């Protein structure tokens, strides 16, 4: 419910706050949800905007590419910190540092791309192809299988799960803020 109202507010040509126009409540709830998210960043709103709003045409001059660039930069920092904290790679030599950062960058890019649009390319997320269960996405129904070696697949799947958790917790906080305002 929050996403639909958020999209409506983002695409509204009229942001008056009166009895007939109440789009500003949703935008305020999204901002307050970001502030109460613990990190004090706008990461939850950025995820919602990138996943649902950037593909929606508003004006010819607007583009979602800036939002995506900011999001991937922020997510790369988060993934790098998680990789360091969880000791994904053992750093022994100086060249291991470069390899680790390349791995963190790849995991960040692929996990964000998968979360934003990882629908199965064969069945288009319907889980059915040619009248039968899709065999391409058997392990991840409706989702494109994650490619790479086992370590990369596990890390990417872990980060996709983290993205979904971040988004869901933001939407829940924003929905709660909207209910309090009503």
For the stretch 122-155, pLDDT in tens is 988 888 888 889 988 887 788 888 988 898 999 9
Read off the tokens for 19. 């009895």
pLDDT of residue 58: 43
> How many other CB atoms are found less than 10 A from the CB of residue 147?
10
Domain coordinates in residue numbering, the chain = 2-181
Residues 48-91: tens digit of each pLDDT:
778 776 554 444 334 456 678 888 998 999 999 999 999 898 88
| DSSP letter (8 states) at residue 143 | B
pLDDT of residue 111: 94
**Local structure of 119: helix, strand or coil:** strand
pTM of the entire predicted model? 0.77
């Amino acid at each position: 419910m929050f996403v639909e109202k958020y999209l409506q507010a983002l695409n509204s040509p009229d942001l008056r706050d009166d009895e007939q126009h109440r789009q500003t409540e949703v935008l305020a709830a999204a901002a307050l949800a970001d502030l109460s998210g613990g990190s004090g960043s706008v990461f939850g709103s950025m995820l919602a905007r990138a996943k649902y709003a950037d593909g929606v045409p508003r004006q010819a001059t607007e583009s979602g590419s800036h939002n995506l660039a900011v999001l991937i930069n922020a997510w790369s920092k988060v993934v790098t910190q998680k990789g360091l904290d969880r000791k994904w790679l053992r750093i022994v030599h100086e060249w291991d540092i470069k390899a680790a950062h390349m791995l963190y960058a790849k995991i960040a890019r692929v996990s964000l791309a998968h979360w934003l649009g990882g629908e199965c390319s064969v069945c288009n997320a319907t889980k059915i192809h040619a009248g039968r269960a899709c065999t391409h996405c058997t392990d991840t129904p409706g989702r494109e299988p994650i490619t790479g070696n086992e370590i990369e697949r596990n890390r990417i799947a872990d980060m996709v799960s983290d993205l979904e958790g971040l988004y869901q917790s933001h939407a829940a906080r924003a929905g709660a803020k909207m209910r309090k305002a009503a």
